[in-house]
Homo-oligomer: A and B are copies of this chain.
Amino acid sequence: MSVIGEQGPYVLIVRCPDRKGIVAAVSTYLAKHDASITESNHFNDALNNLFFMRTVFRADGVDFPDLDALKEGFAPIGRQYDMHWELHDLSVRPKVVIAVSKFGHCLYDLLHRQRSGSLRMDIPAVVSNHDDMRSFVEWSGIPYHHLPVTKGNKDAQEAQFTKIIQDSGANLVVLARYMQILSPEFCEVLSGRCINIHHSFLPSFKGAKPYHQAHERGVKIIGATAHFVTNVLDEGPIIEQDIQRVDHSHTPEDLVDMGRDVECAVLARAVRWQLEHRIIMDGSRTVIFK
């Protein structure tokens, strides 16, 4: 990854209809404004005639403007090529709210990666419907919000959760084994800025107890899937998947235990890519520039 400074590097994300000259237009704009490209990825989706680009650049001369001026100057190019585009300063640390229930492995993993500098983010809040993870979270210096779910309080609980997200200014919500069915309204709130980890190799074994389903079917490989939250459970765009080989000797409980490492790894990669603006939506699929 590019070296982070006090300001910059900067990242430009583009999705637009594929046409001749887009790269020339963008790269000429950057070169004119004393920006040096340090990383660049393109994808031409020929099936849908779409173009995707992620370009990282740094200030490299006196004519480099500030972020607002850079955006302003780029706007006409965006309009010309009918772009969806974003421009971010990678030195600004994203704010991430994490939700967890009783299984703490993904939470532990994310917090350690954050502490060690491996994941570059601030964590203004951890939310849970249980109180089990309070001690570790508070030792880590992060506020812990215990929002229990009872019969009849789901709406109120989700309203509290929503308020925490809003008050924290979160850029991203991560459901790190948060074992609650979300209401369509709350899914709407989270849509486009929330990553969930599902403990199966989707689309196999949607819904509850996927490891038990996997054992029942006698599969030889289990997996985990990180995906964006949409309003259809376990149907959101897939960001990352990985697998673990198993055999006949493993009980469903063994699968639960063995799957933890895969869940941690898959979720951590998905979160990292989102923090680094490496993911662009392509309908119900994701383009990921690693």
Contacts and interface: CB of A to CB of B under 8 A. Distances in A.
Contact of A30 (B24, B242, B285): B24
A37 B28 contact: no
Interface residues of A, number: 69
A157 interface: no
Contacts of A265: 261
A247 B38 CA distance: 17
Interface in A126-155: 135-136, 139
Given A31-B24, A36-B20, A241 B257 contact: no
A243 interface: yes
Interface in A192-242: 201-205, 217-221, 223, 237-242
A117 to B, nearest CB: 9
A150 to B, nearest CB: 26
Contact of A243 (B40, B44, B243, B284): B243
Nearest to A264: B261
Interface string A40-84: 111111110000000000001100000000000000000000000
A195 B1 CA distance: 31
A13 to B, nearest CB: 14
Contacts of A61: 20
A190 interface: no
Nearest to A287: B248
Interface of A: 1, 3, 18, 20-21, 23-24, 27-28, 30-31, 34-47, 60-61, 104-105, 108, 112, 116, 118, 135-136, 139, 201-205, 217-221, 223, 237-243, 247-249, 251, 254, 257, 260-261, 265, 282, 284-288
10 contacts: A23-B23, A23-B27, A27-B28, A38-B44, A136-B139, A202-B219, A203-B204, A217-B238, A218-B286, A221-B223
3 tightest A-B CB contacts, nearest first:
A218-B285, A24-B27, A23-B27
Given A24-B28, A38-B46, 5 more contacts: A23-B31, A23-B37, A139-B139, A202-B204, A218-B286
